[in-house]
Amino acid sequence: MGYAHLCSSFALLGALAGCTANPPDLPRAQEDPKAVLAAVSVAQAYVCGQVGRIARIDRTGYRAEFLVQQVLSGMLGSGERLEIAWEELATQRAPRFAKGETVLVALSALPATALWLHRFPPQLRDGKTFAVAAQGDAFLREPRCERFGALKSYVALEPNERTGRKGAQALAELGASSDERLAMAALEMLGTTFEGSALRHEAVTQGIARALGHGSAATRKAALDLARRHQLKELRAPILQIAQSDSTDLSRLAWEALLSWKDPELDERLAAWSSSSALEWRVLAAKVAAATDKQQVIEQAIKDPSPLVRQALAEHLPPESKFLPWLLVLLGDPEQGVQRTAAIKIAQVGPAALSALEEAALRGNARKAAAAVLALAELGETSQAILERLAAEHPEESVRQLAALALGRPQAEH
């Protein structure tokens, strides 16, 4: 369909006819690599090509000529001329595509809703007009399509294969691909879609290992986060290499990944981290000490002047009876966030913490007593008798009132 015909078609549809150029000062919709991957379930084709002239169909609808330059999937051919259509629901934005721009798009069938049938009646649906998939979000600007072999492999999988080992392997390969946008989206999808044995398959871990060596620091970070969340010990060697040699931020993240499975290499670094002048390393030392029961460093972290260190300690101390003495110290911390975290952890210890909490409420200062009441409230019915005594007998009125509230009694009006 020629461009003159294109514009006249809009008039016949009763639309706001007009062939438009992008207003120079208006923002455009962001490309969405996650939508590109997610669109695989509905896309009829993935193609790279050049956007031609753009026209507005109605208040929110747009269409444009499109020259296919490379086909990743689908029954289209290089050199074919198509039309692509999409919506711009944010009316204060310029069209997401610009004439002459090269894009990767996932193409789906035109919707069969009344609005889209009005825009494109059956007689205009000739197999050469497609919607941009994922409500127009499945596109990337300025792609290097010759490097999209991993994407081509992923979209070629059958639906049942994408949810199995082959899908995990293809996403891992995408995570190591040179396009940072797709790599990060693939690693995120890999971590949320798969777990356990699927992630530990040799072909999958090999792909993630390559992502750990990616040229983009952001992609290496995404791969580290994936390894940490799923405790992928199979990746110890490349993670340790990052921990020992990469930038400070990535190094710390690598050590946290190793911490997720209590790697013995951490012990050799702990003393240096705990006495570091850099706050971020003392925070890491507190996490390691709490998780690995290094009592000397725990004592050191409890006294650290930074509440961030004490907060990290409270968050990572296991809710077990043996750690109650330290949690009770943190219950009296001057920082409310540290107190609250300690109270929750103590409550998770269960009934074994009751007597210690009653003692803290009776003998601690008002701040610690209040935090102890909060912990008792978290314990539910098992703490009711203690809360009754505190509501009736505690010397501090504020603590008596808090205990009464924990029992569900409204505060008396004055």
Task: State pLDDT tens for residues 349-367.
Answer: 999 999 999 999 998 788 8
Instruction: Return the ∠ at Cα 246 (arms to 181 and 176), rounded to 5°.
Output: 30
413 — pLDDT class (breaks 50, 70, 90) = low
Residues 117 and 15 in one domain: yes
- Of 378, 307, 302, 358, give the one whose Cα is nearest residue 336: 307
Which of 227, 244, 263 delimits the end of a domain? 263
In a domain, 294, yes or no: no
Which of 94, 118, 146 delimits the end of a domain? 146
Residues 208 and 230 in one domain: yes
Which amino acid type is present at position 62? Y
Query: What's the rounded mean pLDDT across residues 329-353?
Result: 94
User: For residue 168, how many other CB atoms are within 10 A of its CB?
Assistant: 25
Query: What's the rounded mean pLDDT across residues 117-126?
Result: 86
Residues 50 and 69 in one domain: yes
* Predicted pLDDT of residue 247: 67
- 140 with 103: CB under 8 angstroms? yes
Residues 129 and 26 in one domain: yes
Residues 79 and 130 in one domain: yes
Residues 29 and 125 in one domain: yes
* Predicted pLDDT of residue 17: 39
Instruction: State the total domains in the chain.
Output: 2
* Predicted pLDDT of residue 4: 40
* Predicted pLDDT of residue 91: 78
In a domain, 306, yes or no: no
Buried b (16+ CB within 10 A) or exposed e, 274-284: beeeeeebbbb
Check whether 345 has a pLDDT greater than 50: yes
Tell me the residue range of the domain where 155 lies.
Answer: 148-263
Task: State pLDDT tens for residues 153-183.
Answer: 999 999 999 999 999 999 999 999 989 999 9
* 3-state secondary structure string across 44-65: CEEEEEEEEEEEECCCCEEEEE
Check whether 125 has a pLDDT greater than 90: no
Grouping H, G, I as helix, E, B as strand and the rest as coil, residue 72 is strand
What CATH number did the domain enclosing 25 receive?
2.40.50
Query: What's the rounded mean pLDDT across residues 327-355?
Result: 94
Average pLDDT value over all residues in the chain: 90
Query: What's the rounded mean pLDDT across residues 315-343?
Result: 95
Entry pTM: 0.78
Check whether 15 has a pLDDT greater than 80: no
* Predicted pLDDT of residue 73: 96
Residues 53 and 40 in one domain: yes
| DSSP structure class, residue 158 | -
* Predicted pLDDT of residue 412: 58
Residues 204 and 130 in one domain: no
DSSP of 213-261 = T-S-HHHHHHHHHHHHHTT-GGGHHHHHHHHHHS-HHHHHHHHHHHHTT
- 213 with 220: CB under 8 angstroms? yes
In a domain, 378, yes or no: no
Which of 92, 123, 146 delimits the end of a domain? 146
Query: What's the rounded mean pLDDT across residues 8-28?
Result: 52
For the chain, report the end-to-end CA distance as a whole number of angstroms. 80
* Predicted pLDDT of residue 16: 37
In a domain, 309, yes or no: no
Residues 213 and 257 in one domain: yes
Query: What's the rounded mean pLDDT across residues 59-84?
Result: 96
206 — pLDDT class (breaks 50, 70, 90) = very high
Q: Both tokens of residue 129?
A: 């007009």
1 — pLDDT class (breaks 50, 70, 90) = very low
Residues 208 and 259 in one domain: yes
CA dist 229 and 82 (Å) reads: 43
> Which residue would you say has higher pLDDT here, 17 or 276?
276
Instruction: Return the ∠ at Cα 209 (arms to 203 and 210), rounded to 5°.
Output: 95
